[in-house]
């Protein structure tokens, strides 16, 4: 099949690359000429494991191309995916200007029937607005062509997006059109061979499914952070509690890891957008507001622990920082807990020595050159001469460090563990003061090693 994908960001590139991988002819379109020129040469603007290899292979086979030519993009395929950004407005609602601009573009250039697929995360009712926008544009041209608007939300985890697309848990398709449903079945057939994964439903239910999924996962995280904060005050160990409740199959182990808050492009934006949608529907969603409030508070927990240990005035202090991305296996720093911590430490007068295996260029782009931020070449360099080490992102390379070397090179043997990577007893035996999330008070050193 021929497929057009509007938007060459995270979702658009993964979608286009995976459809091309199974033999479709994919044309990705973007308004950014420099980005398109780079993509044609295999230069990928984001880090996602496996994505570059897929795009390189598709380019070499001629299965994928990139363009800024909107007319060519509309003419290329009957199936048109909309995968442009929906950034939050000031009131928390999703900004649909780019989605509706794509709808106008399709209406402006289409010469025959189209199946228009909303891949972007959009509020309930967006498909109706897309269909109306296309039809209005067609009327202005004096045309009446068949348009089938489908909701096909993505469920991609950053850092595992290729596997998520190629081996999906479910493929949600929202449409009232039998023809569109048939075309979507054909397109997704290569990903649906093992057992039936395609779930057909009405458009509005599909749109709500995406928001409900992300809000549920965000709720689990905020709930565990609430319990972790309570455990800390009661002298309980949240890691033992986590194992105790996770063994219940009704709860499970996924998304019940306490930490310093969630970030990224999805959970924060989608919880806010769903809460805004609730208000527009005259429903007060107290739970969604609480999920968001707990997460915002949790992003300050590490800073509060640091100031309790060192005092509020951090002038002259240097902190090593492990992790900048909001999660491992990505370079994405949108809404990252690291940003809240860094900015709070700077405001208190501290300097930072930071290391992240993928997000350092993104940190450079966000913050530029500044005297109080050194982006280090190795994890060890980040804590050399620092007053303490702060772990913010749970990259695998941080899980088993050389604690003896760390203790020797830190000014003070203090670790703030924002992801509960380390065993408090082990660090105490090594003479390292360890602050974690929900594991009681700091575990004081028990030896002079």
Q: Which residues lie below 8 Å from residue 209, measured CB to CB, with a gap of 6+?
A: 153, 172, 174, 201
Under 8 Å between Cβ of 74 and 61: no
Under 8 Å between Cβ of 229 and 295: no
Under 8 Å between Cβ of 256 and 224: yes
Task: Record the tokens describing residue 69, joined without a space.
Answer: 């030519």
Under 8 Å between Cβ of 422 and 219: no
Under 8 Å between Cβ of 350 and 380: no
Q: What is the DSSP letter of 87?
A: -
CB burial of residue 250 (10 Å; 0-12, 13-18, 19+)? exposed
Q: What is the DSSP string of 197-262?
A: -EEEE-HHHHHHHHHHHHHHHHHHHHHHHHHHHHHHHHT--HHHHHHHHHTSTTT-STT----S--
The residues assigned a catalytic role are 266
SS3 at position 430: coil
Q: Element (H or E) spanning 375, and its range?
A: strand 373-375
* Cα–Cα separations (whole angstroms), residue 30 to 35, 151, 421: 8, 21, 40
Q: How would you classify the pairing of strands 114-118 and 147-151? A: parallel
């Amino acid at each position: 099949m021929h497929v057009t994908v509007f938007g060459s960001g995270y979702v658009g590139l993964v979608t286009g690359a995976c459809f091309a991988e199974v033999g479709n002819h994919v044309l990705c379109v973007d308004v950014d000429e420099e980005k398109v020129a780079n993509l044609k040469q295999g230069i990928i603007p984001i880090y996602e494991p496996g994505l570059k290899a897929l795009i390189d292979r598709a380019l070499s086979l001629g299965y994928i191309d990139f363009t800024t030519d909107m007319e060519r993009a509309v003419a290329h395929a009957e199936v048109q995916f909309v995968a442009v950004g929906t950034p939050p407005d000031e009131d928390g609602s999703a900004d649909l200007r780019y989605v509706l601009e794509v709808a106008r573009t399709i209406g402006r250039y289409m010469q025959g029937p189209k199946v228009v697929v909303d891949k972007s995360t959009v509020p309930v009712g967006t498909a109706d607005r897309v269909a109306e926008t296309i039809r209005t544009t067609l009327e202005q041209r004096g045309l009446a062509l068949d348009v089938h608007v489908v909701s096909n939300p993505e469920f991609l985890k950053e850092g595992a997006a290729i596997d998520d697309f190629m081996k999906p848990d479910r493929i949600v398709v929202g449409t009232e059109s039998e023809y569109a449903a048939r075309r979507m079945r054909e397109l997704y057939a290569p990903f649906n061979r093992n057992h039936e994964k395609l779930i057909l439903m009405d458009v509005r239910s599909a749109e709500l499914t995406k928001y409900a999924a992300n809000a549920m996962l965000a709720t689990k995280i905020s709930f565990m952070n609430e319990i972790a904060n309570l455990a800390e005050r009661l002298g309980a160990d949240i890691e033992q509690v986590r194992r105790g409740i996770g063994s219940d199959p009704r709860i499970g182990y996924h998304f019940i890891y306490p930490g310093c808050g969630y970030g990224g492009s999805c959970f924060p934006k989608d919880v806010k957008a769903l809460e805004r949608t609730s208000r527009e529907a005259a429903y007060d969603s107290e739970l969604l507001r609480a999920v968001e409030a707990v997460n915002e508070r949790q992003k300050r927990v590490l800073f509060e622990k640091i100031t309790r240990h060192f005092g509020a005035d951090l002038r002259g202090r240097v902190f090593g920082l492990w992790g900048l991305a909001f999660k491992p296996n990505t370079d994405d720093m949108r809404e990252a807990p690291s940003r809240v911590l860094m900015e709070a430490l700077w405001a208190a007068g501290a300097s930072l020595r930071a290391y992240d295996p993928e997000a350092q260029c993104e940190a450079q782009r966000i913050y530029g050159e500044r005297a109080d931020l050194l982006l280090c070449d190795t994890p060890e360099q980040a804590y050399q001469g620092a007053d303490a080490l702060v772990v913010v992102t749970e990259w695998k390379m941080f899980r088993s460090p050389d604690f003896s070397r760390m203790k020797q090179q830190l000014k003070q043997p203090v670790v703030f563990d924002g992801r509960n990577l380390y065993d408090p007893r082990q660090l105490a035996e090594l003479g390292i003061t360890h602050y974690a999330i929900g594991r009681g008070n700091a575990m004081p050193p028990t030896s002079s090693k």
